[in-house]
A = this chain, B = another copy of it.
Amino acid sequence: MEAARVVLNRDPDAGLDAIAVEAGLTRRAVYGHFANRDALVQEMVVRGTARVAEALVAIDHPQPLVRLALIASRMWREVDTMRLTSLLAVRGPFQEQVAEQLRPVRRHLLDTVRDGARHGVRTDIPADTLARLIEGAAIMVLDEATRTRMSAASGRRLAMLAVLAVAGLDAAAANRLVDETPELRA
Give the interface of A toward B (CB within 8 A). Answer: 11, 13, 91, 122-125, 129, 132-133, 136-137, 139-141, 143-144, 148, 158, 161-162, 165-166, 168-171, 173, 175
Chain A binding surface SS class: helix
* Contact A144/B140 with A13-B13, A158-B125, A165-B168 known, Cβ cut-off 8 Å: no
Residues of B within 8 A of A136 (CB): 140-141, 143-144
Given A124-B171, A133-B144, A165-B166; 4 other pairs, CB 8 A cutoff? A129-B144, A129-B158, A162-B166, A168-B171
Question: Is B161's CB under 8 angstroms from A124's CB?
Answer: yes
Q: Which residue from chain B places its CB closest to the CB of A169 in the assembled complex?
A: B170
Question: Is A175's CB under 8 angstroms from B140's CB?
Answer: no
A123 to B172, CA, bound (A): 10
Residues of B within 8 A of A122 (CB): 165, 171
A124 to B164, CA, bound (A): 14
